[in-house]
Structure 1
């Protein structure tokens, strides 16, 4: 008999952040497992609108969008959860519902997917109690697992690492030419050497590492006057002003472009445009953007103090640096820029990242979690 599974989410199709990408991949896993008649899934999404559902990831009858009606979401999820064999929580903000389901239906297995900073913060006693009542927590990286253990004193046996994967529909380019349309848009030529970072630019989250790239840019420009740093991501007003001041301070206005939000459909083209993806962060839960960049054949430089280590497979797929050591960041970037990748190297990188972070392996892990409560 198919396992009845309820997957509770905040947003899936109405937003394009890392957590939402994970949610879409889980949805597709449930879709595939339902085709094998192993799972009878239902997905409840608190904030999505029904018409934004992407049919590649879920059938209409498997998905309920609540359009921000929190009260209705809680009631329907609680009732459905008590009738389910397994409940998956996509975010710690759904913990209270999971706790109530577990309390009223002890036989139901309740699991939490833990991503990053949302679960590292200090939690009130009520949430800690609920966290300990869960059957298991699946952390997206070893760093996130260790943070949960140290911050919340959760037993090691209750936490397993479930690395994220590439979206099942991620496009693997075979032509690595720089897109002409983007060269024109940003007033660049094929003679430019292009670094890129892509992240949320928030005044409250100064750990992504792009500040340090800005600080070493003058030294990189001395070696290569054609360097341009594309800093992609929507910035809040305070962060925009701060970044503009930094650019003036380091006198790099002709070598950096704040390009703002990049539509998901254009992300891989921006990777093709660039020579290196660099984001030496310190508090990344995992960093799906790293594996997406590498899947586009792009070299990656990331920090060695957070979940980026998992995303780069402990440095086997890209370069890990001490994000606080500007000399090291500069040296590694200089070395990589001196050895541009050809098509053969880019294809090899694609193959390697696919072998580690392919969707098929992830779906098997989701299947084992549902059927056995553990990762295969």
Structure 2
């Protein structure tokens, strides 16, 4: 099958990471794959991970540009490639396709909120969760299909021992762009300050990611005199993250509703416990608390108390939950199952 995937930018993120896994798997399965990247922004680490047999087309439009030439170029090259399926990974891409010929082939995967009625212009719509399906049904004139996110388990070494010596710091990892209003990193810093006030100080936090809130978050860290306990590692490659996940005691995602977050599944694949806020999408990911821990959304006291609880748990209890989460991801969220589901539904 000849398949074209389109995305606005190939930055480091959950959507982009999964897209690279999908196109690599489809390429290894002997399908003809092209990746069209509309904007000029790309992450070189992600680009380097793409199978050499994948045809990469970079339109190199400046982000936010209203110039028509890059879109004309996109349509010309899409027509020239003449794919059987055009799989879009941003909702507004349909507006860049000129001809009915191209639009009739266009499918969309929705990873977060539903933008507007324009999603009805796609031939098919896939969502990554039941909560997104419910949102889509309010605007769609046809039935969406749920295809959950998937990870490449072979690329993620897992944690083999959850027993922790009392003198070893409890290590927390948070991975996301540093936009605190959206992803809630400030809540994690506030929670650590609460724990310090209770005399619980052998906890370290590593933040991976860049963003406009970094200066504010560093200032908050300084205000609480937590510089020796919090490290801002900036952006790291996906390979680095997958290799290092097993070294942490818990992955924390404190955002109020983060939509599709591949790193939660990757942490489960690494047998690392996850702690998330109790929003609908997040709770679906951990099966209402069966596969991970949760705290009251936007409440750093609740977050601090849950961290303290996890830290106090015995190794065998953590291992039992981590193993259960691992087996769930292995069965339901592996990249092979995900990609084969897409291939089945492209032509169904």
Residue 154 of structure 1 corresponds to which residue in structure 2?
140
| Distance in 1 of aligned mates of 2:210 and 2:273 | 23
1:294–1:353 CA contact under 8 A, matched in 2: yes
With structure 1 as the length reference, what TM-score do the two structures score?
A: 0.76
Q: Quick one: distance in 2 between partners of 1:344 and 1:217? A: 24
For residues 40 and 299 of structure 1, do their structure 2 counterparts lie closer, same or farther at Cα, with a shift above 3 Å needed?
same
Change (3 A) 1:44 1:207: closer
Distance 2:50 2:234 in 1: 28
- The answer to whether the Cα contact below 8 Å between 1:9 and 1:23 also exists between their aligned partners in 2 is no
Are 2:138 and 1:141 aligned? no
In the superposition, the TM-score normalised over structure 2's length comes to 0.82
Cα separation, 2, equivalents of 1:348 and 1:219:
31
- Larger RCO: 1 or 2 (CA < 8 Å, sep 6+): 2
Q: Does residue 110 in structure 1 map to residue 106 in structure 2?
A: yes
The 8 Å contact of residues 233 and 259 in structure 1, kept in 2 or not, is answered as yes
Q: Give the corresponding residue for 1:90.
A: 89
Q: Match of 1:184?
A: none
Paired residue for 1:132? Answer: 120
Answering whether residue 193 of structure 2 is matched by residue 208 of structure 1, we say no
Report the secondary structure of 1:207's partner residue: helix
SS in structure 1 at match of 2:108: strand
- 1:243 is paired with a residue whose SS is helix
Alpha-carbon contact 1:88-1:110 (below 8 Å) kept: yes
What aligned pairs does 1:309-328 form with structure 2 within 5 A after superposition? 309-328=283-302
Q: Aligned match of 2:216 in 233, 242, 261?
A: 242
Report matched runs for 1:11-90 at 5 Å: 11-12=9-10, 15-33=11-29, 35=30, 39-46=31-38, 47=40, 57-60=50-53, 62-66=54-58, 68=60, 70-71=70-71, 73-80=73-80, 83-90=82-89
Matched residues in 2 for 1:72 and 1:110: separation? 17
Give the corresponding residue for 2:272.
298
- Point out where structure 2 has 5 or more consecutive residues left out of the alignment: 62-69
CA distance in 1, matches of 2:284, 2:93: 26
The CA deviation at 1:190 is: 6.5
The superposition leaves residues 96-121 of structure 1 with CA deviations (integer Å, 9 ceiling, x where unpaired) of: 234x34x2367x4321111225x54x
Alpha carbons of structure 1 residues 105 and 258: separation in structure 2 relative to 1, 3 Å? closer
CA distance in 2 between counterparts of 1:242 and 1:224 reads 24
Aligned to 1:183: none
Contact 1:6 1:42 survives alignment (8 Å): yes
Write the distance in 2 (CA, Å) between the matches of 1:74 and 1:265. Answer: 31
1:54 offset after TM fit, Å?
Answer: 6.3
Distance 1:325 1:288 in 2: 23
Aligned residue for 1:66, secondary structure, equals strand
Task: Say if 1:232 and 1:259, in contact at 8 Å, map to a contact too.
Answer: yes
Note if contact 1:115-1:139 (Cα within 8 Å) is conserved in structure 2: yes
